[in-house]
């Protein structure tokens, strides 16, 4: 469902302040593979991703998100998006292909919520360990939770109305679900997709230019339970034990990396087509929408951003 030329959420760059401990966590607990590193960054990918990296860890004195980036179908799309986003009122800039390992040129802008977002096409192709000829369903030697891929992220900020308008009206995303006040007058959160999944990016009204979590995809509910066992074995702080979302219908567990960035592993959900109607939740049912079984939010889940 990429008639807009935007294929998927391609990468996210996270800031981490305990660098080596974070690298150990993302490789041995979460189970990503290192594809490159330099003095201040480590580049990682999940085993089922074909491109050079989907996650960049950046050495920093604080946690949080540096930028998120979407892959597009070809470089001509970058020129089109540069004009369309500029006409919307956002300042655009070009990012050199020498800025990061394995990447080509990108365009960058800042969302009304304060987040930096990039679009790119060229990135080094490295393939997957199962290959393309008579492949087995999974590779040998997996470590930790070992998700298939980067799936989505949830960002927070004040002006989510304008940001949603940019994604829907300019970039052609489908709004799959939203949360509004009981009177329907104000938007609290929105889930948006450019693929056939329930969301590639979500926005919630909250602290400016922050991230609530980054989500990775697992194959099934059993893998979610296994992830919980692995997290407990390594004494990783779990925010929310395995449960189901009402919003997106996904099955999930939330936990924190060593710097306090919240991670999620996620499975399930529904297929999305271009004519998918937006599902609406009211604020008084938000607890059930987020945690369908308990039907209430915990304090940390709504208060902790990085």
16 by DSSP, 3-state: which? strand
Give the number of other CB atoms < 10 A from CB of residue 39. Answer: 5
CB 53 within 8 A of CB 102: yes
How far apart CA 53 and CA 100 sit, in angstroms, is 11
Tell me the torsion sign for CA atoms 206, 211, 213, 215.
Answer: positive
Provide the pLDDT for residue 137: 95
Query: Does the domain formed by 6-120 have CATH 3.10.180.10?
Result: yes
Name the residue with tokens 């990918």: 45
CB 47 within 8 A of CB 142: yes
Provide the pLDDT for residue 1: 62
Provide the pLDDT for residue 35: 98
How far apart CA 28 and CA 46 sit, in angstroms, is 12
**CATH assignment of 151-303, among 3.40.50.1100, 3.40.50.620, 3.40.50.300, 3.10.180.10:** 3.10.180.10
Element (DSSP H or E) covering residue 230: helix 221-233
Element (DSSP H or E) covering residue 65: strand 64-72
CB 118 within 8 A of CB 82: no
Pairing mode, if any, of strands 106-110 and 210-217? Answer: unpaired
Provide the pLDDT for residue 83: 96
How far apart CA 86 and CA 82 sit, in angstroms, is 6
Name the residue with tokens 């297929």: 271
- Give the burial class of 122: count Cβ atoms within 10 A of its Cβ; 0-12 exposed, 13-18 middle, 19 or more buried: middle
Pairing mode, if any, of strands 64-72 and 6-16? Answer: antiparallel
pLDDT tens digit at each of 306 positions of the chain = 666 899 999 999 999 998 999 999 999 999 999 999 999 999 999 999 999 999 999 999 999 999 999 999 999 999 999 999 999 999 999 998 788 999 999 999 999 999 999 999 999 999 999 999 999 999 999 999 999 999 999 999 999 999 999 999 999 999 999 999 999 999 999 999 999 999 999 999 999 999 999 999 999 999 999 999 999 999 999 999 999 999 999 999 999 999 999 999 999 999 999 899 999 999 999 999 999 999 988 888 888 999
Output the six-digit token pair for 61: 């004195």
CATH fold match for the domains 6-120 and 151-303: yes
Domain ranges of the chain: 6-120, 151-303
How far apart CA 269 and CA 277 sit, in angstroms, is 15
99 Cβ partners below 8 Å, 6+ apart? Answer: none
139 by DSSP, 3-state: which? coil
Shortest CA distance to 234 belongs to which of 141, 140, 143, 152?
Answer: 143
Q: What is the DSSP letter of 284?
A: G
- Give the burial class of 247: count Cβ atoms within 10 A of its Cβ; 0-12 exposed, 13-18 middle, 19 or more buried: buried
Residues taking part in catalysis = 152, 199, 213, 245, 254, 264
Give the number of other CB atoms < 10 A from CB of residue 250. Answer: 24
CB 291 within 8 A of CB 275: no
Q: What is the spatial order of strands in the sheet that 33-37 belongs to?
A: 33-37, 41-45, 55-59, 6-16, 64-72, 116-120, 106-110, 93-95
């Amino acid at each position: 469902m990429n008639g807009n030329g935007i294929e998927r959420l391609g990468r996210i760059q996270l800031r981490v302040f305990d660098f080596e401990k974070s690298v150990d966590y993302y490789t041995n607990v979460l189970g990503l593979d290192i594809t490159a590193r330099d003095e201040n960054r480590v580049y990682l990918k999940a085993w089922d991703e074909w491109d050079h990296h989907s996650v960049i860890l950046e050495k920093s004195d604080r946690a949080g998100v540096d930028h998120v980036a979407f892959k597009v179908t070809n470089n001509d799309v970058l020129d089109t998006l540069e004009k369309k986003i500029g006409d919307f009122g956002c300042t655009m800039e070009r990012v050199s292909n020498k800025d990061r390992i394995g990447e080509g040129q990108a365009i960058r802008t800042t969302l009304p919520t304060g987040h930096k977002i990039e679009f790119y096409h060229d990135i080094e192709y490295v393939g997957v360990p199962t290959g393309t000829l008579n492949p087995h369903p999974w590779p040998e030697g997996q470590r930790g939770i070992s998700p298939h891929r980067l799936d989505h992220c949830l960002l927070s900020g004040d002006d989510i109305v304008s940001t949603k308008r940019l994604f829907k009206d300019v970039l052609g995303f489908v709004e799959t679900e939203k949360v509004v006040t009981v009177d329907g007058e104000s938007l609290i959160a929105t889930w948006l997709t450019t693929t056939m999944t329930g969301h590639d990016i979500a926005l919630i009204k909250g602290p400016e230019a922050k991230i609530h979590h980054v989500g990775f995809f697992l194959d099934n509910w059993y893998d979610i339970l296994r992830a919980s066992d692995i997290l407990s074995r390594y004494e990783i702080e779990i925010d929310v034990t395995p449960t189901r979302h009402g919003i997106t219908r996904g099955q999930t567990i939330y936990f924190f990396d060593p710097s306090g960035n919240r991670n999620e592993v996620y499975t399930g959900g529904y297929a999305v087509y271009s004519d998918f109607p937006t599902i609406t939740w009211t604020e008084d049912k938000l607890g059930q929408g987020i945690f369908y079984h308990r039907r209430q939010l915990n304090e940390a889940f709504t208060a902790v951003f990085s």
